[in-house]
């Protein structure tokens, strides 16, 4: 009964993301980039339908989901390895099939100064 009288926007949820990556790395080193997505419901009608990671404006990883192949939980993490050869601007975003995205998360990875 409560659902019938609750405005749809109260129940709506957009997918949000956060990025975990080192603040700096030595040139030629491999880093791990972790993206955590949060979405209040992942059921057959309402779910995160994609998650993407971009480095310096180029998509380097994308996970697509469907109603039969949804993320494993409401909060899930994906990770990739990436070799650092220049300063990196990271951007990640997730998307709900019904309500969209809360917007991208960003992070930067600087080139670590050379050891003396």
- Structural domains in the chain plus CATH codes: 12-108 (2.60.40.730)
pLDDT, position 13: 87
Q: What is the pLDDT of residues 2-11, one digit of tens each?
A: 444 444 444 5
* C-alpha to C-alpha distance for 54 and 46, rounded to whole angstroms: 25
* C-alpha to C-alpha distance for 77 and 89, rounded to whole angstroms: 19
pLDDT, position 43: 79
Please give the structure tokens belonging to residue 29: 């080193």
pLDDT, position 25: 97
Question: How sure is the predictor about 116, in pLDDT bands with cuts at 50, 70 and 90?
Answer: low
What share of the chain in percent tops pLDDT 90? 78
Q: What's the whole-number average pLDDT of the chain?
A: 89
Q: What is the pLDDT of residues 46-80, one digit of tens each?
A: 899 999 999 999 999 999 999 899 999 999 999 99
Q: Average pLDDT of 89-100? A: 95
**Rg for the chain (alpha carbons), in Å?**
17
């Amino acid at each position: 009964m409560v659902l019938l009288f609750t405005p749809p926007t109260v129940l709506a949820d957009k997918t949000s993301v956060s990025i975990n990556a080192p603040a700096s790395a030595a040139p030629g080193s491999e880093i791990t980039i972790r993206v955590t997505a949060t979405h209040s419901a992942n059921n057959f009608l309402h779910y995160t339908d994609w998650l993407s990671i971009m480095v310096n404006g180029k998509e380097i990883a994308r996970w697509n989901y469907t109603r039969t192949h949804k993320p494993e939980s409401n909060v899930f993490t994906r990770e990739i390895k990436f070799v650092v050869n220049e300063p990196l601007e990271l951007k990640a975003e997730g998307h709900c099939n019904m309500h969209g995205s809360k917007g991208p998360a960003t992070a930067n990875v600087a080139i670590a100064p050379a050891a003396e």
